[in-house]
């Protein structure tokens, strides 16, 4: 941002923080805080951290006076959260956090990325509550203000978990390290990953059947260790295998050289179908027991949108491009670096390269994203 654009955005943030009803996390006095300031022309983001507050009034006054572009607090609880080094802080535990960021899942127009990451979040919540027994009352759901969602698990049972235990949990969520020999045995009614694995394999075998014989053979023989004879044999048994996967699975299915090659693929058509059944959370966030996470009700300095707390039941109807937008529709002139279509506030704004007049909320978003400057 140039200085004029930085001042415009900072003034809008100042107005928001002057009027907003902010919320603070539980056990505020045990949290470390970090702030990124508005710094016109800076090449990189620098954080002011190792800060602690004794109560909400002190925190909120600090925010209103500082007017930062980003506000973070630690998922961890510390004896001395303002100690200058991590070793001196005295770790007492940490909330379990899942971060779903569209940038790690799919590329495309912003509204489409937001729609896809909502789907991933719904899958995650279903796994947590339906398969892993997490009490929905212990879940805090937050739109990040940018490209995704944060899921906070406040249950004390998880607070003392280290990185290894958190890694096992996020691996389950993401479908990492699945053992086909375990998932393809037992009754067909087995819930969770056994059911998802079989569904993905059935879908894959149906996809093979939709290809021409030449295309299917070409695909199968490209797999490691699969020749023409083995590939042809699988295609002949394809319908029989689908029937078996829908009922009591033949325990010898993994002795088939082609099936074994398929289910151990790290990429490709089967893996794509399996990954779609996972919830693609950002693994390093969950395993990090000292993570800084965005403060709900703060503003995201990369979008100007609100970091919006949500009830889990409201996620399906939530539209971040309406419900997390806090600025007005008054007209503002911006100078855009390139043309784009920007959906926001229930409309799509066609913005040309150069100077355009747009609603203030759109102007703040474009400036925060580095797409435009104030004209």
| CA quadruple 181, 185, 191, 194: dihedral sign | positive
- Tell me whether residue 179 is one of the annotated catalytic residues: no
Q: What is the 3-state secondary structure (H, E, C) of 279-317?
A: CCCCHHHHHCCCCEEECCCCECCCCCCECEEECHHHCCC
Catalytic residue among 61, 82, 95, 99: 99
For residues 66 and 39, what is the distance between their CA atoms, to the nearest angstrom? 12
What's the rounded Cα separation, in Å, for the pair 105 and 81?
Answer: 33
**Is 111 designated active site?**
no
Write the CB contacts of 179 (distance below 8 Å, at least 6 apart in sequence).
none
Q: Which of 55, 135, 282, 335 is catalytic?
A: 282
| Alpha carbon distance 368, 304 (integer Å) | 6
Residue 163 burial (CB < 10 Å; 0-12/13-18/19+)? middle
Cα separation of 370 and 375, whole Å? 14
CA distance 213 to 326: 56
Check 61, 95, 101, 250 and give the catalytic one.
Answer: 101
Question: In this structure, what are the phi and psi dihedrals at residue 342, rounded to the nearest 5 degrees?
Answer: -115, 105
Residue from 280, 23, 21 nearest 149 by CA? 280
In angstroms, the CA 270 to CA 55 distance is: 52
Q: Does residue 99 carry a catalytic annotation?
A: yes
Q: Which residues belong to the active site?
A: 99, 101, 282
């Amino acid at each position: 941002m140039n200085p004029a654009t930085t001042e415009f955005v900072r003034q809008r943030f100042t107005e928001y923080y002057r009027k907003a009803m902010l919320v603070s996390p539980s056990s505020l006095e045990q949290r470390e805080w970090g702030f990124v300031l508005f710094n016109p022309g800076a090449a990189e983001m620098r954080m002011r951290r190792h800060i602690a507050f004794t109560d909400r009034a002190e925190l909120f006054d600090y925010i209103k006076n500082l007017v930062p572009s980003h506000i973070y607090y630690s998922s961890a609880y510390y004896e001395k959260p303002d100690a200058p080094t991590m070793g001196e802080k005295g770790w007492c535990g940490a909330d379990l956090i899942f971060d779903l960021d569209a940038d790690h899942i799919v590329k495309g127009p912003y509204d489409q990325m937001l729609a896809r990451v909502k789907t991933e979040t719904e899958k995650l919540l279903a796994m947590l509550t339906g398969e892993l027994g997490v009490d929905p009352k212990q879940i805090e759901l937050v739109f990040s203000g940018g490209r995704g969602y944060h899921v906070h698990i406040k249950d004390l049972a998880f607070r003392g978990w280290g990185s290894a235990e958190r890694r096992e949990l996020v691996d389950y969520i993401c479908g990492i390290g699945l053992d086909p020999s375990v998932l393809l045995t037992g009754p067909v009614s087995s819930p969770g990953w056994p059911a998802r694995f079989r569904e993905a394999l059935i879908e894959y075998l149906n996809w093979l059947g939709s290809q021409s014989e030449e295309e299917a053979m070409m695909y199968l023989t490209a797999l490691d260790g699969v020749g023409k004879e083995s590939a042809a044999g699988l295609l002949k048994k394809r319908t029989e295998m689908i029937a078996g996967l829908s009922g009591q699975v033949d325990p010898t299915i993994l002795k088939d050289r082609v099936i074994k090659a398929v289910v151990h693929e790290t990429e490709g058509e089967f893996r794509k179908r399996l990954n779609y059944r996972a919830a693609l959370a950002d693994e390093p966030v969950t395993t990090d027991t000292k993570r800084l996470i965005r403060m709900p009700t703060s503003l995201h300095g990369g979008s100007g949108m609100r970091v919006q707390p949500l009830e889990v039941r409201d996620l399906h109807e939530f539209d971040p491009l309406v419900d997390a937008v806090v600025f007005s529709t008054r007209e503002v002139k911006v100078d855009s670096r390139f043309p784009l279509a920007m959906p926001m506030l229930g409309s799509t704004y066609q913005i040309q390269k150069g100077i355009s007049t747009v609603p203030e909320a759109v102007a703040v978003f474009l400036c925060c994203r580095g797409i435009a400057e104030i004209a």
